[in-house]
Amino acid sequence: MKGELKYEGKGKQLYASDSADELIQVFKDDATAFDGIKHDVIAGKGALNCAISSFFFEKLHEAGIGTHYVRKEGAVDMRVKALDMIPVEVVVRNVAAGSICKRLGFEEGMELKWPLTEFFYKSDELHDPMIAIEHAELFGWGTREELEAMRATALKVNEVMTKLLADVGIRLVDYKLEFGRTADGAMVLGDEITPDGCRLWDIETGRKLDKDVFRRDLGGLSEVYHEVANRLGIKI
């Protein structure tokens, strides 16, 4: 049962639930890019992202990684633990793509020798600037210990997801993760894990199976998200 709307972002809403320590996370059909400048509504996108994110969270739980996920409750509804979110996201890169190519002049598609982790301050107004751990510590966004734990967890997630996706012919290029503190102070993975926040390429052809299809007008977003779900054996 959904109660009061607590938060609304570009792709999700969070509602109060029948438990003080849990929320209902609702995935929207909205597709956005370039900090909301480009926008469309794509029928069925919310259900696809809810199903894909639920699948990944369940696999991470099996691997012993703590998340806010409780269970999938409906086509677009996921029950999650309420978190005090840390305003820093972790990006893990296995292949050079996107902003790192613009910043450092790399050719897109360059394989990295090992997974690279980067931190970004969550601020739409500032376009999520890249930061160091010292920034987070100095400005009170998170402790050094918390950010190092976020990095370590993100790399564990990388191991699990890289194999899951490689087994169905998909390369995990990069992805972003967000974390938060539970009511008892534990830090766990929050937000979502979907093709909105991951770059996914077909291993053989390099064809994009993520939100870059929408960003770069490369075809139908719903079709590629369906393909990701189908390859992973997810029923929508």
Q: Which contacts qualify for 224-230: CB closer than 8 Å, 24 or more apart?
A: 224/195, 225/45, 225/48, 225/49, 225/52, 225/195, 226/48, 228/52, 228/170, 228/195, 228/200, 229/48, 229/51, 229/52
Whole-angstrom CA distances from 148 to 128, 139, 164 are: 19, 16, 25
In percent, how much of the chain has pLDDT > 70? 100
Burial class (CB in 10 A: 0-12, 13-18, 19+), 34: exposed
Which pLDDT band, with edges at 50, 70 and 90, does 236 fall under?
A: confident
Does the pLDDT at position 36 exceed 80? Answer: no
Domains belonging to the chain, first-starting first, are 5-81 (3.30.200.20), 84-220 (3.30.470.20)
The predicted pLDDT at position 94 comes to 98
Q: Each residue of 59-101: pLDDT tens digit?
A: 999 999 999 999 999 999 999 999 999 999 999 999 999 999 9
Side chain identity at residue 218, one-letter code: L
Which pLDDT band, with edges at 50, 70 and 90, does 146 fall under?
A: very high
Whole-model pTM: value is 0.96
Distance, in Å, from the CA atom of 161 to the CA atom of 168, rounded to the nearest integer, reads 11
Does the pLDDT at position 35 exceed 90? Answer: no
Does the pLDDT at position 6 exceed 80? Answer: yes
Q: Each residue of 163-209: pLDDT tens digit?
A: 999 999 999 999 999 999 999 999 999 999 999 999 999 999 999 99
